[in-house]
């Protein structure tokens, strides 16, 4: 249960389903319910497939490339911290109008880079790797499925969320999640450095 809750919280912070729903509203505004359902379902299924592929095969790919998981923890932590820094310090950008994306918004920008971006993929490899990740595949899998199910529901409810949260609420939420993500990033860096130091001392 602890692994499941940790993974669920981490994914919620890095994916930010509420923020993604607000962006989705801007992209799909005026397109109709059928278009919103189709784009939300495609975006979530594509993102979940990418994340699970990285979860189950990402560590093997790193091994083939000669990259240690400890190095990835440090690099991934720095990447997550960079993302968190911009979440906290940058002003909220305006909504992207749907007219810019005439056909399909499910792959870009909804799936990549929003709900299955580099930070999410890095987090996935870190969670699924190592003995602990190998031993807790089912709780991690459940966390991925649940977070994307929640994201799907919130994407469909994007109109209501936009009316409820508003611009100020969105700004506050984004910065709060940025602080939590920064703390998670520092923890990844600290764990990576500690493991590298322990490996070198043996």
- pLDDT computed for residue 202 by the predictor: 66
Helix 69-89 crosses helix 158-201 at what angle (to 10 degrees)? 140
Identify the CATH assignment for 2-201 out of 2.40.128, 1.20.120, 1.20.1250, 2.60.120: 1.20.1250
| Alpha carbons 119 and 114: distance in angstroms, whole number | 10
Give residue 151's pLDDT: 97
More confident residue, 79 or 56: 56
Distance from C-alpha of 29 to C-alpha of 38, rounded to nearest angstrom: 14
The predicted-structure confidence for 95-148, as pLDDT tens digits, reads as follows 444 344 446 889 887 888 789 877 788 889 888 887 676 778 899 999 999 999
DSSP string, 155-200: HHTHHHHHHHHHHHHHHHHHHHHHHHHHHHHHHHHHHHHHHHHHHH
Question: What's the pLDDT score for residue 142?
Answer: 95
CA distances from 55 to 7, 94, 121 (A): 12, 33, 8
Residue 54 has pLDDT above 50, yes or no: yes
């Amino acid at each position: 249960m602890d692994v499941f809750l940790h993974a669920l919280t981490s994914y919620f912070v890095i994916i930010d389903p509420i923020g993604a729903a607000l962006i989705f509203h801007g992209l799909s505004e005026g397109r109709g319910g059928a278009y919103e359902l189709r784009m939300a379902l495609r975006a979530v299924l594509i993102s979940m497939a990418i994340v699970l592929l990285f979860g189950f095969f990402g560590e093997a790919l790193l091994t083939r490339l000669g990259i240690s998981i400890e190095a990835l923890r440090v690099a991934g932590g720095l990447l997550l911290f960079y993302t968190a820094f911009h979440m906290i310090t940058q002003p909220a950008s305006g909504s992207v109008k749907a007219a810019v994306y005439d056909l399909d918004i499910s792959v870009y920008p909804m799936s990549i880079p929003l709900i299955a971006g580099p930070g999410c993929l890095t987090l996935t490899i870190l969670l699924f790797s190592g003995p602990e990740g190998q031993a807790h595949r089912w709780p991690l899998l459940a966390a991925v499925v649940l977070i994307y199910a929640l994201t799907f529901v919130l994407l469909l409810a994007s109109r209501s969320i936009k009316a409820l949260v508003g611009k100020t609420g969105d700004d506050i939420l984004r910065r709060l999640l940025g602080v939590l993500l920064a703390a998670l990033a520092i923890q990844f860096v600290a764990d990576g450095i500690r493991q590298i130091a322990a490996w070198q001392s043996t």
